[in-house]
Amino acid sequence: MSTSTAEAPSTLPAGPFRRFAALVYDLMLLVSVLFLGTVVLLPFSGGEAITPQDSGAWEYLYRSWIAVLALGFFGVSWTRRGQTLGMMSWKIRVQREDGSRLGWMDSLKRLGIGGAVVITAVTGLWLLRSQGAAWAWIAGCALLVPVVVNYAWMWRDAGRRTLQDRLSRCRVVRLHD
């Protein structure tokens, strides 16, 4: 099916509560997918954890595998229906600005931007846990700024889009009940 086919586009933007609830639901599902993807690889590592100290180049293949699984989870959902299971539960959909479904490049861009924001936030939280060093606390707070700005932008934007939505030229809309 073509990604340019429009499906009765909704213009009602999804609110922050629905978006956050769908994200939490999807993250639980993604963790399950990544867990199963890791279980598939355990026979190749002798049942041991895949770590840089013990696995060498195998670690980079594992990280690539995890990235492919994450892209597959979101990409298949977004390109086929515009919704992940979490988004279906909360009756929201991601679509291009013109109302059509996302293509694979749109999904990759959206996931890349979202992934960068999440990795930055996780790094910031990790630094905030550091004991004693003032620079770590300052850096941790600074690394949390992108996630705050990303979602705070929703309150500024007339279409309730985050910076991630704007940069990927998408919007998350609420479906009719």
- Model confidence over 110-169: pLDDT tens digits? 999 988 988 898 888 888 887 767 888 888 888 888 888 888 888 888 889 998 899 999
Per-residue pLDDT tens for 14-37? 988 999 999 999 999 999 999 999
Tokens of 128: 């905030």
Is residue 65 within 8 A of residue 89, CB to CB? The reply is: no
For residue 125, give the nearest of 112, 110, 141, 114 by alpha carbon.
141
Where is 4: in which H helix or E strand? none
For residue 93, give the nearest of 34, 153, 29, 18 by alpha carbon.
18
Q: Is the pTM of this model over 0.85?
A: no
Identify the residue whose tokens are 């639901």: 25
- Distance, in Å, from the CA atom of 43 to the CA atom of 125, rounded to the nearest integer, reads 33
- Contacts of residue 8, Cβ cutoff 8 Å, sequence gap at least 6: 99
